[in-house]
Amino acid sequence: MEQINRRRFLRGMGGSFLALPLLEITAAATSVIPKRITATGIFYGLVPQHFHPAEEGSNFQSPTLLKPLEPFRKDYTVFSGLDHNLGGGHNATKFFLTGIPSAQSKGFAEANVSFDQKAAMYVEGKTRFPSLSLDVEGSSEHTLSWTRNGTPVQPVRSLSRLYQMLFRKDDVHSLRQTERELADKRSILDLVVNQANSFQKGLGREDKEKLDQYFTSVRELESRIEQAKLWLGKEKPHTKYSLPKRVDSLALNERTPLYYDLIKLALQTDSTRVVTLAFTELGKDSGGLSGVSRGYHALSHHGQVREAIEELTIIESFHLAQYARFLRKLKEVKEPNGKTLLDNTMALLGSGMSNANSHSNRDLPVILAGGGFRHGEHKHYARRGRSSVPLCNLFLSMLQNFGLEIDRFNTSGGTLTGFETMG
Look at residue 48 and give its three-state secondary structure. helix
Look at residue 348 and give its three-state secondary structure. strand
Question: Is the domain of 277 the same as that of 341?
Answer: yes
Instruction: Kindly tell me if the per-residue pLDDT of 11 is higher than 80.
Output: no
Q: What is the per-residue pLDDT for 23?
A: 31
Q: What is the per-residue pLDDT for 327?
A: 98
Question: Is the domain of 208 the same as that of 140?
Answer: no
As a whole number, mean pLDDT of residues 359-379 equals: 97
Helix and strand numbers, DSSP H then E, in the chain: 10, 9
Residue 285 lies in a domain: yes
Question: Is the domain of 144 the same as that of 108?
Answer: yes
As a whole number, mean pLDDT of residues 9-26 equals: 37
Q: In this structure, which long-range contacts are made by residues 7-12, counting pairs with CB atoms below 8 Å and at least 24 apart in sequence?
A: 7/151, 9/188, 9/192, 10/149, 10/151, 10/217, 10/221, 11/140, 11/151, 11/152, 11/154, 12/154
Residue 409 lies in a domain: no
Residue 423 lies in a domain: no
Which band of pLDDT confidence, cut at 50, 70 and 90, is reported for residue 7? very low
CA dihedral (83, 398, 119, 279) in degrees, to 10, reads -50
Residue 5 in contact with residue 212, Cβ under 8 Å? no
Q: Which of 234, 269, 288 is the last residue of a domain?
A: 234
Cβ count near 305 (within 10 Å): 13
Residue 407 lies in a domain: no
Integer angstrom CA distances of residue 147 from 40, 216, 228, 233, 339: 18, 12, 18, 27, 32
Q: Tell me: the pLDDT tens digits for 387-414?
A: 999 999 999 999 999 999 999 999 999 9
Question: Is the domain of 12 the same as that of 69?
Answer: no
Question: Is the domain of 179 the same as that of 153?
Answer: no
Question: Is the domain of 251 the same as that of 109?
Answer: yes
Cβ count near 33 (within 10 Å): 17
Q: What is the per-residue pLDDT for 356?
A: 86
The residue that leads in pLDDT, 271 or 210, is: 271
Which band of pLDDT confidence, cut at 50, 70 and 90, is reported for residue 104? very high
Pairing of strands 366-370, 389-390: unpaired
Query: Which DSSP state fits 376?
Result: S
C-alpha 273/C-alpha 251 separation (Å) is 28
Question: Is the domain of 245 the same as that of 320?
Answer: yes
CA atoms within 13 A on the CB side of 109: 4
Q: Which of 206, 234, 262 is the last residue of a domain?
A: 234
Residues spanned by the domain of 387: 33-169+241-402
C-alpha 247/C-alpha 88 separation (Å) is 35
Which band of pLDDT confidence, cut at 50, 70 and 90, is reported for residue 14? very low
Task: Give this prediction's pTM.
Answer: 0.84
Residue 70 lies in a domain: yes
Beta bridge partners of 369: 76, 347
Q: How many domains does the chain have?
A: 2
Residues of the chain with pLDDT > 70, as a percent, come to: 76
Q: Tell me: the pLDDT tens digits for 303-338?
A: 888 898 999 999 999 999 999 999 999 999 999 889
Contacts of 352 (CB under 8 A, 6+ apart): 41, 43, 84, 92, 93, 94, 95, 96, 361, 364
Beta bridge partners of 379: 79
Centroid of chain to Cα 100: 15
Q: What is the per-residue pLDDT for 111?
A: 92
CA dihedral (402, 406, 409, 414) in degrees, to 10, reads 100
Which band of pLDDT confidence, cut at 50, 70 and 90, is reported for residue 267? very high
Question: Is the domain of 7 the same as that of 53?
Answer: no
Which band of pLDDT confidence, cut at 50, 70 and 90, is reported for residue 199? low
Question: Is the domain of 191 the same as that of 292?
Answer: no
Residue 138 in contact with residue 280, Cβ under 8 Å? yes
Question: Is the domain of 195 the same as that of 162?
Answer: no
Q: For residue 102, which phi and psi values (nearest 5 degrees)?
A: -60, -35
Residue 50 in contact with residue 78, Cβ under 8 Å? no
Instruction: Kindly tell me if the per-residue pLDDT of 13 is higher than 50.
Output: no
Instruction: Kindly tell me if the per-residue pLDDT of 3 is higher than 50.
Output: no
Which band of pLDDT confidence, cut at 50, 70 and 90, is reported for residue 123? very high
The residue that leads in pLDDT, 225 or 357, is: 357
Contacts of 120 (CB under 8 A, 6+ apart): 130, 131, 274
18-27, 237-246, 269-278, 293-302: lowest mean pLDDT where?
18-27
Question: Is the domain of 222 the same as that of 154?
Answer: no
As a whole number, mean pLDDT of residues 9-17 equals: 41
CATH code of the domain in which 245 resides = 3.40.720.10
Residue 233 in contact with residue 175, Cβ under 8 Å? yes
Q: In this structure, which long-range contacts are made by residues 54-61, counting pairs with CB atoms below 8 Å and at least 24 apart in sequence?
A: 55/378, 56/377, 56/378, 56/379, 56/380, 57/377, 57/378, 58/376, 58/377, 60/377, 60/378
The residue that leads in pLDDT, 177 or 274, is: 274
Q: Tell me: the pLDDT tens digits for 210-253?
A: 656 655 665 666 666 666 666 666 788 999 999 999 999 998 89
Question: Is the domain of 124 the same as that of 226?
Answer: no
Q: What is the per-residue pLDDT for 390?
A: 98
Residue 125 lies in a domain: yes
Q: Tell me: the pLDDT tens digits for 34-87?
A: 999 999 999 899 999 999 999 999 999 999 999 999 999 999 999 999 999 998
Residue 420 lies in a domain: no
As a whole number, mean pLDDT of residues 169-185 equals: 59
What rounded mean pLDDT belongs to the chain?
84
Residue 25 lies in a domain: no
Element holding 275 (H helix, E strand): strand 274-279
Query: Which of 23, 80, 89, 41 has the alpha carbon at shortest distance from 379?
Result: 80
As a whole number, mean pLDDT of residues 196-208 equals: 62
Q: What is the per-residue pLDDT for 209?
A: 60
Q: Which of 199, 218, 234 is the last residue of a domain?
A: 234
As a whole number, mean pLDDT of residues 155-169 equals: 91
Look at residue 276 and give its three-state secondary structure. strand
Cβ burial, residue 301 (10 Å; 0-12/13-18/19+): middle
